[in-house]
């Protein structure tokens, strides 16, 4: 549900999932200089930058604790043009960092990223180059990212169960906590629903907080999944002022550890925006609130 760069890093992880890893030599000219917290670093390298294989190198060592397998890595990143060196989109100045679960799923999907992160000290800078593939229709990508945090984050809500409300979508969980949603018969509601399925014992979420969640979203119209952090394999973080109003209004006031059923009529989601695949759709989410800050 993030509005900027939310899928960039996951997309790069998928691009390299079936590719080999290259020598670090093509990125040997990359230099990264910090400009302080909340600022994009200065990145210098010889242009044009090219590599035949996906290449990921640690440019600078941080001075923080080393990231351990199973933790969640928070990273800030900037996209760079390998031809000109110009910087493009970035998350160094955004409210929330990108999160990567450094677990077996990452190891199986992108061992190169897994190996780079495990044991890396917080504060380390990395350069990551993924060559384009004409057959797959993908463009060359080059990013620099900084490991800003390494922490233990639960992957599912742990609160006490709350009795379901009759007539609302029903939710079942698999052994790992991934939800499935069944839409009831009848018309979609016209008012926002934000119903606790589990009541957590953690801090209360404020409307301007940055939250870390797992979520699963389906369309009321046909029950099809349109977005899911569970399917991407990791929780995600975002500012509550960066998302649709159903999420801001539905999560504010809830507690960490809770699982929330959100039913979002179009006016609280994407409305009648022409060209949006979710135009005029009532959306149903199950959201596990894992952290707030």
Report domain extents, the chain.
8-151, 160-292
Distance CA(114)–CA(195), nearest Å, equals: 37
For the chain (length 293 residues), average pLDDT per consecutive 10? Answer: 48 56 82 97 96 94 96 93 95 86 79 95 96 84 96 93 96 97 97 98 95 96 96 83 95 98 98 89 98 88
Distance CA(282)–CA(143), nearest Å, equals: 36
pTM over 0.85: no
Instruction: Give the tokens for residue 274.
Output: 């022409």
DSSP 267: G
CATH number assigned to the domain with residue range 160-292, chosen from the 4 options 3.40.50.300, 3.10.50.40, 3.40.50.1370, 3.60.21.10: 3.10.50.40
pLDDT at 257: 98
266-293 burial string, b = 16+ CB within 10 Å, else e?
Answer: bebbbeeeeeeebeebbbbbbbbbbbbe
Q: Are 186 and 282 in contact (CB under 8 A)?
A: no
pLDDT at 243: 93
Strands (DSSP E) contained in the chain are 31-33, 42-44, 55-60, 72-80, 87-90, 98-101, 125-130, 141-151, 160-161, 170-173, 179-182, 193-199, 210-219, 225-228, 236-239, 259-264, 283-292
Domain 8-151 and domain 160-292, same fold? Reply is yes
pLDDT at 9: 64
Q: Class of 8-151 per CATH?
A: alpha beta
Whether residue 79 is preceded by a cis peptide bond, meaning omega within 30 degrees of 0, is no
Q: Are 184 and 169 in contact (CB under 8 A)?
A: yes
Q: Are 37 and 149 in contact (CB under 8 A)?
A: no
């Amino acid at each position: 549900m993030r509005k900027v760069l939310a899928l960039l890093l996951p997309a790069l992880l998928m691009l390299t999932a079936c590719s080999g890893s290259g020598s670090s030599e093509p990125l040997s000219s990359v230099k990264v200089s910090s400009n302080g917290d909340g600022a994009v670093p200065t990145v210098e390298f010889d242009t044009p930058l090219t590599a035949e294989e996906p290449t990921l190198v640690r440019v600078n060592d941080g001075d923080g604790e080393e990231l351990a397998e199973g933790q969640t890595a928070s990273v800030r990143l900037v996209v760079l043009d390998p031809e000109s060196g110009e910087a493009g989109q970035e998350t160094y100045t955004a409210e929330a960092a990108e999160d990567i679960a450094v677990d077996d799923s990452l190891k199986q999907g992108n061992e190169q990223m897994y190996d780079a992160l495990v044991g890396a000290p917080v504060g380390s800078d990395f350069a990551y180059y993924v060559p384009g593939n004409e057959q797959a229709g993908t463009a060359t990508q080059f990013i620099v990212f900084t490991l800003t945090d390494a922490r233990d984050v639960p992957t599912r809500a742990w609160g006490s169960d709350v009795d379901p409300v009759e007539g609302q979508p029903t939710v079942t969980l698999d052994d790992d906590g991934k939800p499935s949603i069944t839409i009831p018969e009848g018309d979609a509601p016209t008012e926002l629903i934000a119903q606790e399925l589990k009541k957590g014992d953690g801090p209360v979420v404020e409307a301007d907080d940055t939250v870390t969640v797992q979520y699963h979203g389906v369309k009321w119209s046909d029950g099809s999944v349109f977005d899911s952090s569970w399917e991407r394999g990791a929780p995600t973080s975002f500012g509550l002022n960066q998302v649709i109003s159903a999420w801001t209004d539905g999560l504010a006031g809830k507690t960490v550890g809770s699982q929330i059923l959100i039913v979002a009529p179009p006016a609280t989601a994407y409305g009648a925006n022409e060209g949006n695949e979710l135009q005029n759709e009532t959306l149903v989410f199950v959201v596990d609130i894992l952290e707030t800050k």
